Amino acid sequence: MLENCNELRYVPEMFFILSRFDKNPDLAVNLYIDFVTSCNNVIQKQELLDLIHKSITEEPYEYRSYRHIYRRDLPPETIIKTVADTFNIQVPDFIKLKYNRSTSDVKAVSVFLMRCLSNSSYKDICKTLGDITLSQTAKLNTKGFNLMQKPKYKELLPLLLEKIRVA
């Protein structure tokens, strides 16, 4: 077999492959032959396949996810009521008041929380708020997001999340 390999040494691809095994061409051919026969060993392949199958079928550990998923089906009325209670707003329909800047921030936080916790679309929020455009709802949502970063409003989200968990 080595006699035939001498002819193959001059093929550029074979020379490249043999050069990866050793610089000496005769030793490289022997190493290459050993490598190929070890790769073609059926018993060794079967043991490897058995090992892979065993690692797939037998789970050595148990996965436990301690993640709590919050349902996003809180009614918008509950969100509005909780926001009103948190900020001591006595008017039950404060969310429908127009041209009132004192309720603008609370309305923005309510819109943001409705968008997050009730999975409402802008169209649904427009119906809930009454007589408001989609673009104004989007602006209130952005404003509500920015307001939620402030300490005054940060206590509101855990309160609502606790209500969701209880429900």
Q: Which residue has the tokens 């509950």?
A: 78
More confident residue, 35 or 126: 126
Q: What is the pTM of this model?
A: 0.56
- Tens of pLDDT, residue by residue over 106-125, are 899 999 989 988 888 999 99
Q: Which residue has the tokens 């996003």?
A: 72
Question: In 10 A of CB 134, how many CB atoms?
Answer: 12
Please report the pLDDT score of residue 39 as a whole number. Answer: 67
12 CB burial (10 A radius; 0-12, 13-18, 19+) = exposed
- Tens of pLDDT, residue by residue over 38-52, are 766 656 667 766 776
* pLDDT range class, residue 151, cuts 50, 70, 90: confident
* CA–CA separation, 144 and 139 (whole Å): 8
Please report the pLDDT score of residue 165 as a whole number. Answer: 63
Does 136 have pLDDT greater than 80? yes
The predicted model gives 19-46 an average pLDDT of 73
Please report the pLDDT score of residue 2 as a whole number. Answer: 46
Does 139 have pLDDT greater than 90? yes
